[in-house]
């Protein structure tokens, strides 16, 4: 392999590595938007910085030794030295010191991620199902799904549990992931400090539609959060027109067996639909909440989310249109 080929390969590898730096992904940990996310990110960056420094120093010494003591014509065979107490002590103590320097802030951050929530923290109960998220606000009497609203600047305490298999709650910009384990209640406490929408994902393989188990966290001002909560605590308005036809189709079909709509149905197998019209996404974050995507979901749920409990119901186009109008009216 000639020098020119080596240079081309080196530049190609460098370009591929640098391409990752331009990734504009919402599922990122390098732009934390909460106190917990920031603590984890700072720990990672500090350890990575020291690791990079050690790597550079060690590699520089290695390359220097290779060039300084390389074999040359006429050079005598060097004398072998067996054992050097000073060096042996040094290369034992230095790594121990480095490990301690890494362990101390790491343990401190671990304790921070498991700290008790403050009394003023907003309590939110999150239950993982295959493949969607049930969200309850016990203090507010609100039940929703796949979308968590929280006020900026106020601590929130998430109580995490699973209704079936192992899941893992992960919103990268707000903090580390936390497993949802059968028979165990886990907690995650953080304070979002920047308004915005932060996507999350189940981070533990949980079945055929694991990749389709997403969620959205909406951090908003206190006023906006209170307005949202007030809207969700109010009962849905009586339907009219096309929405009224959809209401009848909802009652006549199999929808009431699985879904809850306040004052209409009390199914427990599927997500609560009381205010589904006001949500930003459908089907646990994989579809936008638009009329077209809602119709697509109603026509054939398993085609969008393989393994979903909701079957293909054989709805006519008129029934789908009426149901879309009704569900969209549930603001």
Beta strands in 16-155, from DSSP E residues, in sequence order: 122-129, 132-137, 142-145, 147-151
Long-range contacts of 50-54 (CB under 8 A, 24+ apart): 50/98, 50/101, 50/102, 54/98
CA–CA separation, 290 vs 292, rounded Å?
Answer: 5
Strand partners, 159: 125, 187
Q: Which CATH code is given to the segment(s) 242-329? A: 2.60.40.420
Which one-letter DSSP state was computed for residue 121? P
Q: Residue 202 phi/psi, 5° resolution?
A: -65, 125
Task: Please answer whether residues 171 and 136 qualify as being in contact, where contact means their C-beta atoms are separated by less than 8 angstroms.
Answer: no
How high is the mean pLDDT of the chain? 88
pLDDT of residue 141: 92
**Per-residue confidence in pLDDT tens, the chain, 331 aa:** 677 777 788 888 878 777 766 666 778 888 899 999 999 999 999 999 989 999 999 999 999 999 888 888 877 777 777 878 888 999 899 999 999 999 999 999 999 888 889 989 999 999 999 999 999 999 999 999 999 999 999 999 999 999 999 999 999 999 889 999 999 999 999 999 999 999 999 999 999 999 999 999 999 999 999 999 998 888 877 888 888 888 888 887 778 778 878 766 677 778 888 888 889 999 888 999 999 999 999 889 998 899 888 888 888 888 888 888 888 888 8
pLDDT of residue 236: 78
Element at 160 (helix H, strand E): strand 156-162
Apex 126 CA angle, 124 and 129, nearest 5: 165
Query: If you write DSSP's letter for every residue of 225-245 in order, what string do you get?
Result: HHHHHHHHHSPPPPP-THHHH
pLDDT digits (tens, 9 = 90+) for 93-133: 999 999 999 999 999 999 988 888 998 999 999 999 999 99
Apex 276 CA angle, 271 and 278, nearest 5: 145
Sign of the CA dihedral running 85, 86, 91, 93: positive
Same fold, 122-232 and 242-329: yes
Task: Please answer whether residues 213 and 284 qualify as being in contact, where contact means their C-beta atoms are separated by less than 8 angstroms.
Answer: yes
User: In CATH, which of 3.40.50.1970, 2.60.40.420, 3.20.20.70, 3.40.50.740 is domain 122-232?
Assistant: 2.60.40.420
Apex 129 CA angle, 132 and 262, nearest 5: 70
pLDDT of residue 256: 76
pLDDT of residue 86: 87
CA–CA separation, 331 vs 329, rounded Å?
Answer: 6
pLDDT of residue 263: 65
Give the burial string for 8-47 (b: 16+ CB within 10 Å, else e).
Answer: eeeeeeeeeeeeeeeeeeeeeeeebbbbbbbbbbebeeee
CA–CA separation, 110 vs 222, rounded Å?
Answer: 29
Query: Domain segments of the chain: what residues?
Result: 122-232, 242-329
pLDDT of residue 215: 94
* Exposed/middle/buried for residue 69 (C-beta within 10 Å: 0-12, 13-18, 19+): exposed
Q: Which of 22, 42, 24, 23 is nearest to 32 (CA)?
A: 42
Beta strands 122-129; 132-137: pairing state? antiparallel
Apex 25 CA angle, 23 and 29, nearest 5: 100
pLDDT of residue 14: 78
Quickly count: other Cβ atoms within 10 Å of residue 121's Cβ: 16
pLDDT of residue 134: 94
């Amino acid at each position: 392999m000639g020098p020119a080929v080596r240079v081309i390969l080196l530049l190609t590898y460098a370009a591929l590595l640098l391409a990752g730096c331009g990734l504009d992904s919402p599922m990122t940990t390098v732009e934390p938007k909460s106190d917990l996310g920031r603590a984890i990110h700072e720990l990672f960056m500090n350890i990575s910085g020291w690791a990079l420094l050690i790597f550079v120093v060690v590699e520089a010494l290695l390359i220097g030794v290779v060039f300084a003591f390389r074999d040359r014509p006429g050079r005598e065979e060097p004398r072998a030295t067996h054992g050097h107490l000073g060096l042996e002590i040094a290369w034992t103590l230095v790594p121990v010191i480095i490990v301690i320097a890494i362990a101390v802030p790491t343990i401190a951050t671990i304790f921070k991620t498991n700290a008790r929530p403050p009394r003023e923290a907003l309590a939110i109960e999150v239950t993982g199902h295959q493949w969607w998220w049930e969200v309850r606000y016990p203090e507010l009497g609100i039940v929703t799904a796949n979308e968590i609203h929280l006020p900026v600047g106020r601590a929130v305490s998430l109580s995490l549990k699973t209704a079936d298999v192992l899941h893992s709650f992960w919103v990268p910009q707000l903090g580390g992931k936390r497993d949802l384990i059968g028979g165990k209640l886990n907690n995650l406490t953080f304070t979002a400090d920047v308004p915005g929408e932060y996507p999350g994902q189940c981070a533990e393989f949980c079945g055929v539609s694991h990749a389709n188990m997403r969620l959205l966290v909406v951090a908003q001002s206190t006023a906006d959060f209170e307005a949202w909560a007030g809207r969700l605590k109010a009962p849905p308005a009586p339907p009219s027109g096309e929405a009224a036809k959809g209401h009848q189709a909802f009652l006549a079909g199999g929808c009431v067996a699985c879904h809850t709509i306040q004052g209409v149905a009390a199914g427990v197998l599927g997500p609560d639909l009381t205010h589904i019209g006001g949500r930003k996404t459908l089907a646990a974050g994989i579809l936008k909440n638009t009329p077209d995507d809602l119709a697509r979901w109603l026509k054939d749920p398993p085609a969008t989310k393989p393994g979903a409990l909701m079957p293909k119901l054989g709805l006519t186009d008129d029934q789908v249109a009426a149901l879309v109008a009704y569900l969209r009216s549930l603001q």
